[in-house]
Structure 1
Amino acid sequence: MKRRAFIKTSVLGTVAGVFTGTVQAKMTTPSEVEGPFYPITPQKDQDADLTRVAGKEGIAKGEIIDVFGQVLDTDLKPVEGVTIDLWQANSFGKYHHPHDTNSAPVDKHFQAWAIMQSGAEGQFKFKTVIPGAYPLGRNQQRTPHIHFKIAKNGYVPLLTQMYFPNHQLNEQDGLFRRKSVAEQAMMTAKLVGKNNQYQYDIILEKV
């Protein structure tokens, strides 16, 4: 009887695991609000290295990181040629935006905005700094995050935000807390190794 119970439990566990994996594969990256600071100031330098600005000597202040990942469809097949438009606050929590009245300093060596396309295997990579938290009123802060606008013909456009694992402000952040545990997991990058590398994969839905 014990052996039968063990076999039954094992089979049910395997089926549950397959079902969970299937659900995860079909789930797209959750959407999020654009926020008030999408870049509106024209800039020529929009490459994948946000830690330097073309024509200026110097490196952005803050903890430099590499973010890499793949853009996939809901069948987990790579999607090539996706436009990835990303922007974020600098390490002080200041956006390079004329409407950001935060008293934190502007970092003239931080690019703040990048536009790139995914490669043949859906891959992308960029260098940046961990964004600082920025204030929301007197006693609140938004947890550090990076904004993404992602688009390609034949796929549903995605507007989302990438969060950082185990950050102390995540659980206090209103937008982060509104998401389910599964959604939070999909929107949170994974720290890979010890070299400040973060993996962030994006799943799009076909039209």
Structure 2
Amino acid sequence: MKKISRRKVIGLGVLGSFASVLGSGSLAKALALMPTPEETEGPFYPVKNQKDKDEDLTQINGYVDDASGQHIVVGGHVTDIYGNAVENTLLDIWQADANGRYRHPRDSNKAKLDQNFQGWAIIQTDEKGSFRFKTVMPGAYPASGTWIRPPHIHLKIFKPGYFPLTTQMYFPDQELNKKDLLLSQKSIIEQSAMMAREIGQQGNLIIYEYNVVLDLLRK
């Protein structure tokens, strides 16, 4: 017969006590993950369709040159609040280029637009809920008055049976994060959930991890 360690027995006893007090449904809710916080879409969601919306935003099909700036890779998983992978989730991604300029007709930023930067991608998670895309570190840009927005990436995330999510992903160790009028409205826990995590480097590429938690639609 397989032996169970004393520590595991104690752990099972604690969970059993919680289950008896809360009930199995309440226990599941107590252990559920916090859904990724929502954030405004912003004014620069793409309005002009483009052929190339693949997972590599640093290279546009038919263009010779790559996008300027620090190239990065962002990868992660989409799960539900119980930690289950959510496959075939649609991720709609857009951002400013390395100069802080959006590929959008109403962006009044005077920074030069990088014509080699794709700016927009629509990708899907695989059967394990994993996703990955290559892009550039977005530049900071003036929002209004003296407010400068820190580097961030916009995402809309869709999957039938789940609440659609519009959010923004931020980068760690950015001084402008502390003064951002949007990010500063979030709690410390919410800010942490919206922050990518640098996990390594591959050649000149900096690798970030960013995970998304979707909330289930209740019937």
| Shared fold (TM-score, shorter chain, > 0.5) | yes
Counting only pairs closer than 5 Å after superposition, residues 134-173 of structure 1 correspond to structure 2 as: 134-173=141-180
Q: For 2:201, what is the secondary structure of its paired residue?
A: coil
Counting only pairs closer than 5 Å after superposition, residues 13-52 of structure 1 correspond to structure 2 as: 25-52=32-59
Tell me the CA shift for residue 91 of structure 1: 0.3
Q: For 1:203, what is the secondary structure of its paired residue?
A: strand
| CA separation of 1:24 and 1:199: change in aligned 2, threshold 3 A | farther
Q: For 1:171, what is the secondary structure of its paired residue?
A: helix
Counting only pairs closer than 5 Å after superposition, residues 82-121 of structure 1 correspond to structure 2 as: 82-121=89-128
Tell me the CA shift for residue 25 of structure 1: 4.0
Q: Report percent identity of matched pairs.
A: 47
Tell me the CA shift for residue 193 of structure 1: 1.8
Distance in 2 between the 1:23 and 1:33 partners? Answer: 28
Tell me the CA shift for residue 166 of structure 1: 1.1
- The normalised TM-score by structure 2 is 0.83
Residue identity in the other structure for 1:205: D
CA deviations over 1:86-143 (Å, ceiling 9, x no partner): 0000000000000001100111110000001110100000000000011023422011
Counting only pairs closer than 5 Å after superposition, residues 36-75 of structure 1 correspond to structure 2 as: 36-75=43-82
1:128 aligns with 2:135: yes
Query: Could you tell me which residue of structure 1 aligns to residue 212 of structure 2?
Result: 202
Unaligned runs of 5+ in 2: 1-10, 19-28
- The normalised TM-score by structure 1 is 0.88
Distance in 2 between the 1:138 and 1:76 partners? Answer: 41
1:191 to 153, 175, 198: 198
Question: Where in structure 1 do 4 or more consecutive aligned residues deviate above 3 Å?
Answer: 22-25
Count of residues in Structure 1 that have an aligned counterpart in Structure 2: 190
| CA separation of 1:23 and 1:184: change in aligned 2, threshold 3 A | farther
CA RMSD for the aligned pairs?
1.7
Distance in 1 between the 2:132 and 2:117 partners? Answer: 17
| CA separation of 1:24 and 1:60: change in aligned 2, threshold 3 A | farther
Query: Could you tell me which residue of structure 2 aligns to residue 78 of structure 1?
Result: 85
Distance in 2 between the 1:25 and 1:166 partners? Answer: 28
Distance in 1 between the 2:176 and 2:201 partners? Answer: 22
Residue identity in the other structure for 1:206: L
Task: Compare CA radii of gyration and give the structure with the larger one.
Answer: 2
Distance in 2 between the 1:24 and 1:197 partners? Answer: 29
Q: For 2:76, what is the secondary structure of its paired residue?
A: strand
Residue identity in the other structure for 2:176: L
Distance in 2 between the 1:111 and 1:193 partners? Answer: 24
Tell me the CA shift for residue 23 of structure 1: 5.7
Distance in 2 between the 1:98 and 1:115 partners? Answer: 20
